[in-house]
Structure 1
Amino acid sequence: MVEHRALHSAITLPDGRVLAAGGFTHSAELYNPATGTWNATGQASMARSYHTATLLPSGQVLFTGGSSSGLGATTELYDPTTGSWRTTNNMSTSRRSHTAAVLPSGRVLVTGGIDASGNPLASAELYDPATGSWSAAGSLASARSRHVAVVLASGRVLVTGGTGASGNSLASAELYDPATGSWTSTGGLRVGRAQPAAALLPSGKVLVLGGLDSADNSLASAELYDPATGSWQPTGDMLHRRSQHHALLLPSGQVLATGGYDPWFGILASTESYDPATGTWSASASMVERRYRHALTLLADGRVLVTGGHGPGNQLVRAELYDPDAGTWVSAASLATPRYRHTANRLPDGQVLVTGGFGDSGPLASSERLAPSSGAWSAAGNMSTPRYAHTATLLPSGKLLIAGGLAASSLRSVEQYDPLTGTWTSTGDMLLPRHYHTATLLADGRVLVAGGNESSRLAELYDPATRVWTGAGNMLTARRYHAATLLPDGRVLVSGGYGVSQTGQPATPLHSVEVYDPATGFWSAPYSMRMGTPRLDHTATLLPDGRVLVAGGYGSPGVGQSARVLETAEIYNPSTGSWMPTRAMLAPHRNHTATLLADGRVLVAGGTDEAGMQTSAELYDPATSTWTPTPCMTLQRRYHTATVLPSGRVLAIGGEQDFNPRASTERYHP
């Protein structure tokens, strides 16, 4: 965030952005999950804390009351469409540490709180967004502040807990019925608690957790309210005692409890999750910073944004993101057309374009485009030529270059996709037909295409400025099913593949590697640069330190041994021009994907082993040269693609199982 904040509000707007406001300051700011950035958005008329912020059906946000000289009854509206603030009619009573709940009618029920003299309130009032006016809504049986209010599935509002007139923690609970405008008592909590947290569960029950007892001791206990019976039952205790914490219902139906204060441990960074099916709590990943009096907001993609709060000694400015699905695969929206041996590229605006591939009836010309913000796929037009086993290269202009591939035969044709217009246009043909070749974007914006032709070793260069192809010299070995990696110094490393004899007959998996230097236009391949294991259908991933990780594929692991799917991996060091073995993968992989994550690890997923299709996935850590297991994909797939989304998650798209193309996709959450 830009400002340090505590006792502020944070609320998700209809467009997915998050508005953070107040916390002893007039300022407000917006968080954009798509870009991960914060931007100022005007100033409220008052600096507020201990206030409420409520999203209205119109998309505007209503701010009420709070703690600051003379503003306890004031209210104002924020309009996300204009980024502007305006005052609206005052409440009848000054209040802070109150609650505000949106009723099914769209009106807002405000209950309790502390008045200007420091006394708890029993009064309640209703705000009508249609008229901007306030009206009385009866009185609670017990004056209270620092309580919770939850709208039930029936539309009634449960108010429970809080601090009473004598300063004690309340166990009583009451229900407001909007249909009659009346309050009635309901079963009380088993333990009086002030400043608890609460969440409405999918079952319709209400979970109330933690808080302070009348002796100001933080509580670990939790209990469930059943609207059908009006009674409370105990459920599992939290792992930590917490007060001034926050809780949030996750899309999975579990409840996340974060931070707070524990007299034994002080301010907490720990988090934990409640499973309603078992009534138990389990530890979740800790926050980066210890905090209480913070805010929790659920983002549209299921992640949780944690903002502000008090840390040791001061208010906090840092925000954090929690991913409940971290380290897991989650099913995502399916393609319109099943496909494998397609391409997938992330466009400059963060969308993902999938092109071609092999479908139910053969090679495909169709393309589809994913908007990560909505998770929806849409048609992106057809190429002029159906193709699979082609290449797709994102050019500096933002256009996508599609080259070669297979249809009825190997293709020379090339076409471009313009994301700004959503149109396809043909461009100059390659010098040779190619499939299972590689295409590498060079530092100067040209594209190097290598291999993929049985009868020629010629490589070629595409210049986007002239749309002309020119020869790039002869490779030392004709090959396909190889890998090509752009090195930090601008050269291109080509590794392994299937050797092709000049008579067109397939040879064997290759040890050899060669390097193309754009500065000289020459290929070189010292014998000392040979890989330790001949391989094809492998992956080659540039690591953050400039080395290249080659993993898996198909080949012979040793002299005199039969070729098989490989679990071996090795590292190429460009500074020495040498290869060194690294630890073997936990399982063999061929026709898999290898994806560099934001933290520098490499995710290997899917493909085949000697027994057939697999779902296994694993992570390579360059710092320790070790592989560790990570959860399996939800489905078996090979010849799929894996694309890093703007959020840092990895989207696996399509693929094939038993020669049947898949339309399904799934996301990996690192």
Structure 2
Amino acid sequence: MTPGRPDPARRRWRRIAVVTAVVLALAGANGPWLYRFGSEKYHAYRIDRPEYKARNGRWEIVEFPEGYRQNTIHAALLRTGKVLLVAGSGNDQENFDARRFDTRVWDPVKGTVKKVPTPSDLFCTGHTQLADGNLLIAGGTQRYEKLKGDVTKAGGLMVVHNENPDKPMTIEAGTRFTGRKNGKTFVAQDAVLVPRARKRFDPETGRFLGNDAGLSRVYVEAERRGARHETGAEDNYRVQGLRGADARNTYGIAQKLALDKKDFQGIRDAYEFDPVAERYVKVDPMKEARWYPTLTTLSDGKVLSVSGLDEVGQLVPGKNEVYDPATRSWEYTGKERQFPTYPALFLTQSGKVFYSGSNAGYGPADKGRDPGVWDVRTNEFTKVPGMSDPDRLETSGTVLLPPAQDEKYLVIGGGGVGESRASTRRTRLVDLRAKNPRFTDGPSLGRGTRYPQSSILPDDTVLVSGGSEDYRGRSGSDILEARLYDPDRNSFRRVADPLVGRNYHAGSLLLPDGRVMFFGSDPLFADPANSRPGVFEQRIEVYTPPYLYRGGRPVVEGGPGTLRRGGTAVFRSPDAARLETARLIRPSASTHVTDVDQRSIALGLERTAGGVEVTVPKNRNLVQPGWYMLFLTDRDGVPSTARWVRVP
């Protein structure tokens, strides 16, 4: 050893000590990051293992190319297997003002996305599947809401009267109304046609009694800004620009016109979307303007349109109407019954309509919210008792449990009216085949849940996912959990957690390959502290259920494209020996936690030489006319890829 120089072994140990100290210091400073990194890597490894996926399924995110992304509010599965994604203005005032309205058609098999011209603002429209495979779309947005602090011009409802029995009157947008007493002038924001007056005669003598004025409503705003242009009482208003008899016969009447909050306003526009041509086809407009309506198919194949906010932002007062696909026109039902907006209304096997109490928003807290069975023809409504947390049904979901023949419904979660922080963890069950139907509690969701998404699966389970504890995910309350509900056991089973939080303006639907797609989410805030405005979730997420990780799926070949009620049909399959069930599943049309189209109908199944024979139930109210996905499922719950069939 050279005198004055350290021992080499000692130098080596000194270097090791220094390196160890540095590593420990870095670990101390970055320990949480290292832990998270390791945990995330392990989690990704664990959820990708075959045994995990066979038990819990798997989630994947689908991001469209940047130019094809949109704020999807509505989604419907088309009979082509593609998905219609509708945004309209997408809850974006700038899009609305610029008249930028969006629709996409997504092919989940090829992965392609197509832009479709959108003729009106179909934001918050209603929709349902028609018998010919078209999708009926009705209603949407005429004007965005303004909160009280944002309202700068006094405004409100003007009722325009026409006392001339010989001709209707057209009031153009921009027409001015001046109060006879208050002298204040208000401007019509839209054009409106005022029908001619109706002559009244004594039914016994035939003597003329007078005219009943034709009435129309229009939203008006003050010419100038400020509180001094508000009115405090009813007044009669002259219509400027009219002369002579027209001026005498046409006038407006308005109550208080103020700087109050202005709700969204609806449109009458209606369209059928053609899934083959992939375009909107305009049909006759509804009788009433509607924003947040529900469309429900009736026993004769016509479509009932219910609720919504009208052209001046008021709840449509129970004036319900029916669309006839044969004439593409609308008629009033002749009976009035009021519901909150987006009510969950289902056609029952008796031909009556079941209202579960679920809804998605506007309407008084004490009117039209009781669940029950409604005879649309007679307007008789029979309440169904036993609902727990009845004041927390807004933003709840309702699903007709499979098979639909059992006529059992599950009401999932929900919250208080409006922006209430209240929510419920309860689910509620009702059997409409019981002698005296009554709600009972089902399994708990574990925490209060608004906006739960639910989709029926071919193996007779229901996927329930997402939602938030608070209004629109407020305070970081999104629920990243998913469960499978088993109707036979009346129980939930946790499965893989979704990757994306979904609350308001979110939904889900079953795809023909047995997977489930999720869309949307419109949080109020972007952070748990509620300090930054929320950002609309544009990513699509797809869940692959556990049954698709249990081995090869059964193959179905041949068979007819049309099935008859009460009839049979034969399908070839090399896997016939292991097939157990056959289901017709109606394609979804989903928005605002409301999907009244989806239903799964059990078919009779008999094995034949080289295939199976299925039998379709006879009840037209159960098997509504239209296109369905036919799934054949084996003894392990593994479904075939759906065959599209039509029931005329």
Greater relative contact order (Cα 8 A, min sep 6): structure 1 or 2?
2
**TM-score, length basis structure 1:** 0.48
**TM-score, length basis structure 2:** 0.49
